[in-house]
Amino acid sequence: MHSNRSGRRRFLKHGAVLAALAAGTPDLAAGQSEVPDTPTPEAHPKGVLTYGERSRFVNSGRGFKVGISHMTYYTPLQDSAGIITPAPLHFMQAHFARLPEIDPEQHRLTIHGMVDRPLSFSLEDLKRLPSVSRVHYLECHGNSSYNDHISPRVDDPRVGLPVQSIYGLTSCSEWTGVPLSVLLKEVGLQKGASWLISEGADAEKWHYSLPLEKALDDVMVAYAQNGEPVRPEQGYPLRLLVPGFEAPYSVKWLSHIKVVDRPYMTRDENGNHTTVRADLGGKSRWYHWEMPQKSVITRPSAGLKLPGPGFYEITGLAWSGRGAVHRVEVSTDGGRSWKDAKLQAPVLRKAHTRFTLDWTWDGEEAVLQSRCTDERGEVQPSLAELNRHWDIISGPDHPEKKQRPFHVNAIQPWRVEKDGSVYDAMFS
């Protein structure tokens, strides 16, 4: 090995350099093509890769549903590893059917309303300010809902396997940007300011009310995602990132923040993001922003097939909008007994946390499920506990109460049948 390599080096030195010099031009690349086992950009079928591609043998992708007024892409959680979602696989939800294309040189973020000095920031202005990088998940609060079309409980050919279809509206990235508190200090808050209305530059001008207390805590105006500019689907060039809150607060293509003294109950908030409660005489539950403790086993999960009895690592993701995951328990016998799963480092606040448990499958029917406890001691509920809590009755016997519940964080059982096929066992 060693002598070979130094032999090649000697060849390069004497062959390529001398040949190049002899030709009158120091063209080292041309000389290198004489060495057959040295890869060169030209040897790559697609030429020079200024932006890398994955192996052609890897084809995991987002599934999607596109309507006239919405676009939804789902993260393939069954193929996920670690806690970071590659940006091209981040879930995506937009309430219109075309992505805005924003020229970063023209784009401005304007902060106005109850402030001393209304200001407009360009992307370059923002990049000059003190930045933070933090790993946070986003989750649509309709994720893993039921009684609806958003989270089908079967494998949907457009979307993918059930864990992708049901749970694929959550993803986790490292976000970089300027703390919103820094920008609010620049503009100067006036007395009585208590809420912000943030608005996007998309065709629909998505806008959402955000309590000032949260804005001054850990909200950031993000311009980067996993080390590169925020993706167009995620709000290029700027998005609000509101850790732990329902993802609709994280306004994409962010263009305006108006400082006000009350929530505005905007169309986007009340249109399809409220839960009507029978026990409150039909009133809605609004501004229920924090996402709850939750977990799901991603492998094995419905749609996958175990090749036979023997050893498997059970793996999945857990998260909580309130902070860090403290514990994940896994049951392989339908909830009769539970074992503590291993939490893989890093375990970060308001971020996906990877858990694993070693398991030897004996070839008999088994029901696998996980249960998360967060730093506040909140334990993931069963479906029955969840329905009782929110006064939701699921099933065909009660059509009058049937509704699309939000913030669904019920324990998810997957049934492994004797032939190794895995199914969703939430309702059967």
Ligand X SMILES: Nc1nc2c(c(=O)[nH]1)N[C@H]1C(S)=C(S)[C@@H](COP(=O)(O)O)O[C@H]1N2
Q: Which positions touch Mo ion (CB under 5 A)?
A: 93, 140
| Shorter beta-carbon distance to Mo ion: residue 74 or 423 | 74
Query: Rule CB under 6 A: is residue 140 a binding residue for ligand X?
Result: yes
Question: Is 9 in a helix, a strand, or coil?
Answer: helix
Least distance (Å) between residue 72 CB and ligand X: 9
Residue 94 binding result from ligand X, Mo ion, none, given CB thresholds of 5 to 8 Å by partner type: ligand X
| Shorter beta-carbon distance to Mo ion: residue 271 or 396 | 271
Residue 298 binding result from ligand X, Mo ion, none, given CB thresholds of 5 to 8 Å by partner type: none
Residue 370 binding result from ligand X, Mo ion, none, given CB thresholds of 5 to 8 Å by partner type: none
Least distance (Å) between residue 183 CB and ligand X: 18
At residue 229, φ and ψ (nearest 5 deg) are -55, 145
Least distance (Å) between residue 380 CB and ligand X: 21
The binding track of 72-111 with respect to ligand X, each residue x by CB under 6 A or -, is ------------------xxxxxx----------------
Single out the residue of 91, 215, 177 nearest to residue 141, CA to CA: 91
Give one DSSP letter per residue of 182-234, joined into a string. Answer: HHHHHH-BPTT--EEEEEE-STT--EEEEEHHHHTTT-EEEEEETTEEPPGGG
Query: Rule CB under 6 A: is residue 251 a binding residue for ligand X?
Result: yes
Among 62, 252, 322, 326, binds ligand X (CB under 6 A): 252
- Residue 252 has which token pair? 């994409």
Least distance (Å) between residue 200 CB and ligand X: 3
Single out the residue of 26, 174, 169 nearest to residue 92, CA to CA: 169
DSSP 8-class letter at 280: G
Least distance (Å) between residue 270 CB and Mo ion: 14
Span from 28-36, 77-85, 199-207, 405-413 in contact with ligand X (CB under 6 A): 199-207
List binders of ligand X among 220-239 (CB under 6 A). Answer: 233-234
Residue 234 binding result from Mo ion, ligand X, none, given CB thresholds of 5 to 8 Å by partner type: ligand X
Give one DSSP letter per residue of 378-425, joined into a string. Answer: -BPPPHHHHHHHHT---STT-TTT----SS------EEEPTTSBEEE-
- Residue 139 has which token pair? 């989750």
| Shorter beta-carbon distance to ligand X: residue 93 or 275 | 93
| Shorter beta-carbon distance to ligand X: residue 138 or 410 | 138
Neighbours of 249 (CB within 10 A): 22
Query: Rule CB under 6 A: is residue 200 a binding residue for ligand X?
Result: yes
Is residue 92 within 8 A of residue 104, CB to CB? The reply is no
Length of the chain counted residue by residue:
428
- Residue 372 has which token pair? 């998360």
Least distance (Å) between residue 259 CB and Mo ion: 25
- Residue 135 has which token pair? 């790993």
Question: Is 36 in a helix, a strand, or coil?
Answer: coil
Least distance (Å) between residue 141 CB and Mo ion: 6
Query: Rule CB under 6 A: is residue 405 a binding residue for ligand X?
Result: no
List binders of ligand X among 120-139 (CB under 6 A). Answer: 138
Residue 206 binding result from Mo ion, ligand X, none, given CB thresholds of 5 to 8 Å by partner type: ligand X
Span from 182-190, 244-252, 343-351, 353-361 in contact with ligand X (CB under 6 A): 244-252
Among 178, 247, 366, 408, binds ligand X (CB under 6 A): 247
State how far the Cα of 83 lies from the Cα of 356, in Å rounded to an integer: 12
| Shorter beta-carbon distance to ligand X: residue 264 or 338 | 264
Least distance (Å) between residue 248 CB and Mo ion: 5
| Shorter beta-carbon distance to ligand X: residue 91 or 423 | 91
Among 175, 195, 253, 359, binds ligand X (CB under 6 A): 253
Is residue 404 within 8 A of residue 141, CB to CB? The reply is no
Q: Helical H runs in 115-193? A: 123-128, 162-167, 180-187
Is residue 323 within 8 A of residue 218, CB to CB? The reply is no
Residues in a beta bridge with 423:
415
Question: Is 353 in a helix, a strand, or coil?
Answer: strand
Return residues touching ligand X (CB under 6 A). 90-95, 138, 140, 200, 202, 206, 233-234, 247-248, 250-253
